[in-house]
């Protein structure tokens, strides 16, 4: 986890300067969150971005206590998991880290809205697409049973008519989202705006 330490410390420092009375919506996860530079414009100006580059679900679980409770979130939206699978970790193992994080959130923040953005079908990870589908389905079933939990299916909308990934939604590396990809995600989040920005 040493690799993430400098970014995590920078996020901690940024949180320390916030108004103690704020209870923002929080987006948490890997570089798909961190690189969402238009997040405030696309979703809500109050959203706090606590993504850190290259992070795994394991890392999100590991650093949860340092990053999420101090942010005092009114809601949490999580995107993580594809880096774990890309590193060769097993689906059941990654699902275990998701469940650990979900339990930490319930303990630390109570029944606030907790959403999971499904793992995207990126061209760079097409070789492990069956494992991505399996993990998405496991999380979908689990989070639907949790108080205030919800699942956001971005996976389906990112496929073309032939069932492959839509190239225009990704940068040239075939992994990170293009501006059009983020526009799509913001549209898919629109039905969940009341959960994200709950008063």
Q: 76-114 pLDDT, tens per residue?
A: 999 999 999 999 999 999 999 999 999 999 999 999 999
- The percentage of residues in the chain with a pLDDT greater than 70, rounded to a whole number, is 99
The pLDDT of residue 144 is above 90: yes
**Closest by Cα among 82, 98, 117 to 188:** 117
Instruction: Output the average pLDDT for the chain.
Output: 94
Residue 171: pLDDT over 90: yes
Tens-place pLDDT, residues 1-13: 777 999 999 999 9
Q: pLDDT value at position 107?
A: 96
What is the reported pLDDT for 18?
75
Predicted confidence (pLDDT) at residue 199 exceeds the cutoff of 70: no
How high is the pLDDT of residue 15? 84
pLDDT for 27-76, tens place per residue?
999 999 999 999 999 999 999 999 998 899 999 999 999 999 999 999 99
The confidence band for 198, taking pLDDT boundaries of 50, 70 and 90, is: confident
Query: Domains (ranges, CATH) in the chain?
Result: 2-13+20-190 (3.40.50.1110)
The residue whose two tokens read 């809500």 is: 44
Give, rounded to a whole angstrom, the gap between the first and last alpha carbons of the chain.
35
């Amino acid at each position: 986890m040493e690799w993430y330490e400098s970014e995590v410390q920078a996020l901690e420092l940024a949180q320390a300067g916030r108004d103690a009375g704020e209870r923002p919506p929080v987006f948490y996860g890997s570089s798909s969150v961190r690189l969402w530079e238009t997040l405030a414009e696309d979703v809500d100006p109050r959203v706090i971005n606590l993504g850190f580059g290259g992070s795994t679900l394991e890392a999100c679980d590991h650093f949860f206590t340092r990053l999420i409770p101090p942010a005092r979130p009114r809601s949490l939206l999580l995107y993580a998991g594809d880096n774990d699978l890309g590193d060769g970790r097993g689906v059941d193992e990654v699902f275990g880290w998701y469940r650990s994080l979900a339990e930490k959130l319930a303990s630390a923040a109570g029944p606030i809205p907790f959403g999971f953005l499904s793992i995207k079908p990126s061209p760079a990870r097409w070789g492990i697409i069956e494992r991505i589908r399996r993990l998405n389905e496991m999380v979908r079933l689990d989070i639907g049973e949790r108080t205030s939990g919800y699942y956001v299916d971005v996976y389906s909308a990112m496929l073309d008519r032939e069932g492959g990934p839509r190239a225009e939604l990704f940068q040239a590396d075939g992994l990170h989202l293009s501006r059009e990809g983020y526009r799509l995600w913001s549209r898919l989040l629109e039905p969940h705006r009341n959960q994200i920005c709950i008063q």
